[in-house]
Every structure is written in structure tokens, then in C-alpha cells.
Amino acid sequence: NAGVTQTPKFRVLKTGQSMTLLCAQDMNHEYMYWYRQDPGMGLRLIHYSVGEGTTAKGEVPDGYNVSRLKKQNFLLGLESAAPSQTSVYFCASSPGDQPQHFGDGTRLSIL
């Protein structure tokens, strides 16, 4: 079972570059989430989606955009990367009334 798959696993960017992180889930979950994890801090919610075609802001949305064109995919975009966005990014999904399932993360470094 694939569960939640994140692509890529690692990436190094230069300041100002753009990129998209892909999250795919094969569990037919309605809800999907993007988090970032920084040293000494818990996971912080960036954006989330409660269904295909919907997105909403979480705790730390600035500098990121998201799209949920298909139910199984949730994309996280950085339009102009900044060093403060160096982090480990986790995607999660949930059917709505059960705990979230997480991917293995994307480690992003911005120089």
C-alpha cells in the first residue's frame, strides 16, 4: 500500500527560484494537509483542503500556494523561494473523522 507519497524527497533551491511539491494519496481521503517542521518546533499547518477543488489557509500560509485539482493530489508551490522556507515538508491526508496519515517528507534547502 502506497498511502501518502511525496515527491521529491530532497531538493536544493537558490533564493528566488520556484518549485512545486507533489503529494499523492491512494486512500480516497477527502482532506489533505501540508505541514512544515522546523527544529525545536512542532509541525505547523501551511494549507489544507477539505475536498477536490477547495483550499484553505493554515497557520503559516505566507509564501506558499496550493492546488487540489484532483482528489488524490495536493500540490504545494513556492513562487519565489526564500532561505526562511528551508524546512522539512510533510503532507497528510485523512477521511475527515480519523487521524491523519503522513508521507515521509520532503527535505527542502534554500540557499
**Is 99 in contact with 4 (CB distance < 8 Å)?**
no
Query: What is the smallest separation between the CB atom of 15 and other proteins, expressed in angstroms?
Result: 26
Residues that bind other proteins (CB under 8 A): 4, 31, 33, 35, 40-45, 48, 50, 56, 58-59, 90, 92, 94, 96-97, 99-105
Residue 73 identity: N
Q: Tell me which residue of 11, 10, 6, 30 sits closest to 81, measured CA to CA.
A: 11
Residue 63 or 105: which CB sits closer to other proteins? 105
Residue 62 or 97: which CB sits closer to other proteins? 97
Residue 13 or 91: which CB sits closer to other proteins? 91
Residue 17 or 60: which CB sits closer to other proteins? 60
Query: What is the smallest separation between the CB atom of 85 and other proteins, expressed in angstroms?
Result: 19
Query: What is the smallest separation between the CB atom of 3 and other proteins, expressed in angstroms?
Result: 9
